[in-house]
Structure 1
Amino acid sequence: MRKAWISAVALLGVMLGPAGVAAAQQQNPWVVIEQWESAGYQVNIDRIGNAPIGECVVTGVRNPQQVVEEVLVVDRDRHHRRDFDVIDVVVHQSISVSLDCTG
């Protein structure tokens, strides 16, 4: 689970870094939205204008939110003694994508 969390943070760093935002602005908005959704995010879109989304320009990717819940995991060690661990599980994550659809 920690590997998935680290991967998500690394992806977030790439996407939110200056080069990531510049690259996102040059991509089709559907591609940017799909990238975040495939990373497990619920994407909230805010836009100005009424052009179809495919004709819009991505002006920002911001406000990543994660809801994490601690879960108790009970296991047995090699001596058959109970082993208790608490791990963080992401139960919901969302991000906002801003679009300029004025044409």
Structure 2
Amino acid sequence: MSKFGELIQAKTPVLIGFYADWNEQSGDIHPIIRDVAAALGDKARVIKIDVDKNQELSDALRIKTLPTLMIYKDGQMVWRQSNAVDANSLITIIGEYF
């Protein structure tokens, strides 16, 4: 989890998508995350985290529904939502934290 702590300390917004390969709804998030990352370039960091490979982190953040999306800025969670959001909406939301 120390890597996670370093990751979220960024001055730019960090969008994190929590997913699992076995979860059908999680499959919807992959192209959305890719589109958001392409649209934002270096204005934000976009990361996907597999809950099965990061169980301790998922438990600590109380990830119960997949996919779950979070935005961190300067080490603080500033936005969180369970279930998918379309790419344009995510780009707009992240833009509030530039």
Computing the radius of gyration over CA atoms, which structure comes out larger, 1 or 2? 1
Higher helix residue share: 2
Q: Which has the higher contact order (CA 8 A, sep 6+)?
A: 2
TM-score tier (shorter): under 0.3
Higher strand residue share: 1
Q: TM-score scaled to structure 1, two decimals?
A: 0.25
